[in-house]
Amino acid sequence: MKASRSYYHQIWARDSFISFLGANLMEDELLLRYAKKNLLTFSKSRSPLGQVANFYDLKAGAPEYGFSGSTDSSCWFIIGLASLYSATGDGDLLRDPLDAALDTYRWLRYQDANNTWLIDSPQGADWMDAAIQRTGKTLYNNVLFLIATRCVNALLSATRRPVDRGIMLDADLLKGRFLEIFLPGEDSPDGMKAYWPRLAVAFRDERPMGFSQEYFLQYVSFNRFDSHFDTLSNLLCVLSGTADGDTSRSVLATVRSRRLSRPYPVRVLDPPYRGEGASFDTSFDASIPVQHRSPPGAYHNGAVWPFVGGFYVCALNQAGDGNASAVTEDLARANSVYRKGEEVGFNEWIHAKTGEPLGQYGQSWNAGMYVAAVLSAQGKRPLRFLR
């Protein structure tokens, strides 16, 4: 499953395993066979320390790990394995692929730089790998890590293998720390004093977002934290059950109140960054190809990414929201627009102001998450293996 019909001809880990979330729900023999082939490719090409590659270059026959790593690829590999096992019950996946997942989980555990159980990310180590400078404890990579922890525990329980207590974390205890850090309330500083006293003092003094708990902080880093609304990560919190009912409703209400599904589902960051700061590098942004630049409303800085729109529809259907059908139709329109000379829709991203389809066409994760969106109306859940 290549990432795209154009430009991205490699097999990208995050694109593949996000595509799994819809493709595996179809229970199609051909798709499941190729999903397994994708998984085995990344399993066999992981680094000696267990890290999963950013992508596998078919032409070169070699893995590529990115400029500053690709932390989310390792998380998505584990999630992809759980998804495929849930869809097939294939016992082969609990042998060498599970060994690979355990190696990968060990690598992820070593990304915890200050013994808080939450993992750290350098800038550019996730899908927002351009001018957005989120780093440290990022919401995106840590909700994926929490989901991956649950997946590994579930896969191990299916094999009756002994658990390495020196590496494996208790998912419920990890969730508690995750919520204290990324969804802080009045009592959060008291809880985090035991494992992150410096942050406890900072939160007590600065009260991020007024402890409103309307949605999750985007990242916590050295001497700062960022409260921009990261749409994908918040939706992952909802779909994985990490957010409780009240928080899930608040997250979906935030998407609605900020009209983030316009012009199409769904804009990925709000509000957009509008100048140089700790979270946005304008000099770097000016130096890269135009298609990867992020002025307000473009690329990672608040553009529409239809694959994230698929997660939004799934969250609406999971919540029993009556608007899900209309949003699905809007998502269909988003995936149908394309420019002259292109062969098909499913464009990488769409400008938030002009509605112009941009980036590359034929994106596999757009297709996979559109399938997930449609099937979620039938009660099928892309993260069903977590239930």
Residue 275 φ then ψ, to 5°: 180, 175
Residue with tokens 């350098």: 122
**Would the CA dihedral through 253, 258, 262, 264 be positive or negative?**
negative
Give the count of beta carbons closer than 10 Å to the beta carbon of residue 283: 8
Q: What span, in angstroms and rounded, lies between the C-alpha atoms of 307 and 347?
A: 10
How far is C-alpha 208 from the chain's CA centre? 23
What's the pLDDT at 6? 85
How far is C-alpha 145 from the chain's CA centre? 10
Residue ranges of domains in the chain: 231-379
What's the pLDDT at 361? 94
**Greatest Cα pair distance in the chain:** 59
Residue 166 corresponds to which tokens in the numbers above? 């020196």
Do 214 and 267 touch, CB atoms closer than 8 A? Answer: no
Q: What span, in angstroms and rounded, lies between the C-alpha atoms of 180 and 178?
A: 6
Calculate Rg over the CA atoms of the chain. 20
Q: Going residue by residue through the chain, which has 387 residues, state the pLDDT in tens, using 9 for 90 and above.
A: 899 988 888 999 999 999 999 999 999 999 999 999 999 999 999 999 999 999 999 999 999 998 888 999 999 999 999 999 999 999 999 999 999 999 999 999 999 999 999 999 999 899 999 999 999 999 999 999 999 999 999 999 999 888 788 899 999 999 999 999 999 999 999 999 999 999 999 999 999 999 999 999 999 998 899 999 999 999 999 999 999 999 999 999 999 999 999 999 999 999 999 987 889 999 999 999 998 999 999 999 999 999 999 999 999 999 999 999 999 999 999 999 989 888 889 999 999 999 999 999 999 999 999 999 999 999 999 999 996
Please give the CATH architecture assigned to the domain spanning 231-379: Alpha/alpha barrel (1.50)
Smallest CA-to-CA distance from 112 within 45, 194, 196 is with 196
Do 53 and 64 touch, CB atoms closer than 8 A? Answer: yes
Smallest CA-to-CA distance from 237 within 138, 99, 340, 94 is with 138
**Amino acid letter, residue 377:** A
> pTM for this one?
0.97
Strands 11-12 vs 55-57: parallel, antiparallel or unpaired: antiparallel
Cβ within 8 Å of residue 252, ≥6 positions away: 238, 315, 316, 319, 321
Smallest CA-to-CA distance from 340 within 356, 352, 323 is with 356
What's the pLDDT at 69? 84
Residue 294 corresponds to which tokens in the numbers above? 């992020």
Residue 332 corresponds to which tokens in the numbers above? 């269909």
